[in-house]
Chain A
């Protein structure tokens, strides 16, 4: 976070990685284990970023390339075998990428605006303009935004909070630089 590692591991298996991060970061939220991989990833980073924040007027704008494909595949597999045909409601629910925004909103009591966008790649110039217009229009005091992608066991995430005052300059160049350093 802000250039400092808050949790380190050599573990490459996502489920083991995320569980040890959950424990190390003291998340303590039993519903966490019901989430799909994308939600776990987004939820955990958001939790670290929002934990100390008392501001509730925080809009959420997340993006990725794979949408909810990781969970879509799971659901698709469960309806592909007619001899073992038991699709799971709790898997199906997560076949929408914006469910992770719902999870974050529920945990932090955020009723603010949120959007999930699918781009070919991280689009810093759009994210910057859109976030600025949300702040300028008075739609939110802060915006949690970024990129959270999960596909085929591979994942990457870069989330950040934008406010009128902050640590880093909110420019396309700076966002690109920060994204590339993760």
Chain B
């Protein structure tokens, strides 16, 4: 049995594109998806910038052939991404193997629910959107739409490392033989719920986010759906699948420092990266590119930067960038979005620029890549860190 778990399909819808190809073109073409908010009426609309999917809810409904107001935005984004991933993998019957769906979300169906919250007692018609608050509901909706029957299904909720942990869990369940196929990723739509929450934490930038820049002002929230199809060696062989890349390493650790803040020296991040390298059987010098978490908050980028220096050594940090300047921080899905980007990097031998970077941080000597570059890549490391101290690292590799 090979060490890595095969990725045979992927799908994404984000602020920089409605499918994998569009996302890749934006990444290479240095096209940011950050703008003023248009889909949600919020009192903060002039003070924040966001990474919105460029489609209204009714456009998404039409695309999926759904009746108006039956699904909220999160599951719709998830379905679009999962469908693309399944199509790319060449799956014709989703139930032909032991298939699991592991999704992740931080808001579930909050966007529709919040509209109807106060009509709840007056109006029974919208009752199903109140049920939609439940985090597991968007996963159930995705499973129903995809026609998944009686398989394993769960929702991971570990904040902004959720989708990375969904990939980790899926890879493990395939390795242990419990599943033959795992559809893993996540979906999070922008909502007043999150916008107002992050506003109180005072970590939202009022302009374009600038990861790893000394003058960074905070993050832009984003929304996305992103899924990968992971399949066992048995399926790959039997169905003659084209393998896009392999999940070769994964690691999760708790920072055990604070509910929201990362520790000064990135203890949890260091442990997550160490574990992932160990699982992959790789040394730090084997990593060709790091897709950093890089949210552009003062706290994250300092802590993550220090953690990278601790792992790779002073002056030895591989080429790295954060793609949050393109998409915004897509919360639960970030690890899924960035896994898709990491696979694309491997497939195309491309490193993406860390847009908006001008001034190096004063605390250390770390310069992110600022231009799109060609480079032969074998192993890409992707970080995702979440509130609650949850730190995850994935390593994606060209060969198993």
Contacts and interface: CB of A to CB of B under 8 A. Distances in A.
Question: Within 8 Å by CB, do A and B touch in the complex?
Answer: yes
B311 to A, nearest CB: 15
Interface of A: 60, 65-69, 72-73, 75-77, 79-80, 82, 85, 87-89, 92-93, 95-103, 105-106, 109-120, 123, 126, 129-130, 133
A122 B172 CA distance: 20
A89 B203 CA distance: 11
A92 B200 contact: yes
B192 interface: yes
B11 interface: no
A116 B157 contact: yes
Interface stretch (B14-22, B87-95, B216-224, B386-394): B386-394
B297 interface: no
24 contacts: A67-B157, A69-B134, A75-B193, A76-B110, A79-B193, A89-B197, A93-B259, A93-B260, A95-B197, A96-B157, A96-B386, A98-B388, A101-B389, A101-B390, A103-B259, A106-B256, A111-B253, A111-B267, A111-B271, A114-B158, A118-B136, A118-B155, A130-B172, A133-B176
A102 B135 CA distance: 19
Counting chain B residues whose Cβ lies within 8 A of the other chain, the interface size class is 35 or more
B201 interface: yes
A105 B389 contact: yes
Interface in B255-310: 255-260, 267-268, 271, 275
B136 A92 contact: no
B258 A106 contact: yes
B141 to A, nearest CB: 13
A101 to B, nearest CB: 6
B136 A67 contact: yes
Given A89-B200, A102-B259, A112-B254, A96 B389 contact: no
Interface string B126-149: 000000011110010000000000
Nearest to B202: A89
A93 B255 contact: no
A114 B387 contact: no
Contacts of B196: 75, 79, 87, 92
B252 A115 contact: yes
A47 B2 CA distance: 40
B388 A102 contact: yes
Interface centre among B113, B139, B390 (most CB of A within 10 A): B390
Contacts of B176: 129, 133
Contacts of B135: 67-69, 97, 118
Contact of A102 (B118, B199, B254): B254
Nearest to B256: A105
